[in-house]
Amino acid sequence: MTTICVYRTDERIIVVGDTNYQEDGKNYQGQSKLIRFPDNKGVITYCGNVRVGTLLAENYQHIADVINDGVCSIYEMASFFKELLEDDGMFEDENEKNTEDIREFTILIVTGGEIWIFDAFFSAMKLQEDFFSMGSGSAYAYGAYSAIVSRVENFTKGDLEGVMNIASFNDTATRRPFDFVEVES
């Protein structure tokens, strides 16, 4: 798994994620899971099934174009994601595979000053909160965020790194280095 955190200010949205991935129960250092849109207009990322991440990475340019050009609404993106995974054959043999493993993913998109979550059943949800975390270390990230935000006047990018550090100390599937992307609100 992984840990992804998002923090919104009036001027920007900061997304941070680790670079760890797991295969056959072992942790490996990998590439960033934060896929940047051209001209830093947004980011798409995921937690869970690595196959989902591979498809997002291979199709990020098309996803960015569709969103930025206003070709479809963010809600129509849910249908696009479902088609993308179905075309790849991800759900073909649901009776033979562990459905929980197949459906274990969440997609996050930050664009146009908005934060969107797509769950494994392709429901779209617009986040209103200033802080959100997903992945295996998210419970630790929420705890750290609550502790830090109650003691500081202005939550900073450095504080967000502190949140990720605490998640990585407590969750073996969350590892440094962390990748940060800042998108204008």
Identify the burial level of 111 via C-beta atoms within 10 angstroms of its C-beta, where 0-12 means exposed, 13-18 middle and 19 or more buried: buried
- Whether residue 159 is contained in a domain is answered as yes
Higher local confidence (pLDDT), 69 or 143: 143
**pLDDT of res. 168:** 93
- For the entire predicted model, the pTM comes to 0.83
Q: Please, which pLDDT band fits residue 21 given cuts at 50, 70 and 90?
A: low
Do 56 and 38 touch, CB atoms closer than 8 A?
no
Report helix, strand or coil for 175.
coil
Q: Give mean pLDDT, residues 159-172.
A: 94
Q: How far apart are CA 86 and CA 103, in angstroms?
A: 12
- Whether residue 60 is contained in a domain is answered as yes
Q: Which residues of 63-93 are buried (b: 16+ CB within 10 A; e: fewer)?
A: bbebbeeeeeebeebbebbeebbeeeebeee
Taking each helix axis as running N to C, give the angle between helix 74-87 and helix 50-68, from 0 to 180 degrees, rounded to the nearest 10: 140
Q: How many residues does the chain have?
A: 185
Q: Please, which pLDDT band fits residue 25 given cuts at 50, 70 and 90?
A: low
- Whether residue 91 is contained in a domain is answered as yes
**pLDDT of res. 133:** 96
State pLDDT tens for residues 74-103.
Answer: 667 777 887 887 887 776 655 544 455 556
- Whether residue 183 is contained in a domain is answered as no
State pLDDT tens for residues 37-70.
Answer: 777 778 888 887 777 877 887 887 777 777 666 5
- Whether residue 185 is contained in a domain is answered as no
Q: How far apart are CA 104 and CA 17, in angstroms?
A: 18
Place of tokens 């207009």: 41
- The three-state (H, E, C) secondary structure of 83-125, written as one string: HHHHHCCCCCCCCCCCHHHHCCEEEEEEECCEEEEECCCCCEE
Q: What is the CATH number of the domain that holds 104?
A: 3.60.20.10
Total of domains in the chain: 1
Place of tokens 């206003």: 70
Q: Please, which pLDDT band fits residue 132 given cuts at 50, 70 and 90?
A: very high
The alpha carbons of the chain give a radius of gyration, in whole angstroms, of 16
Higher local confidence (pLDDT), 1 or 147: 147
**pLDDT of res. 151:** 86
- Whether residue 182 is contained in a domain is answered as no
Which residue range is the domain that position 126 belongs to?
3-176
- Whether residue 181 is contained in a domain is answered as no
Q: Chain-centre distance of CA 6, in angstroms?
A: 8
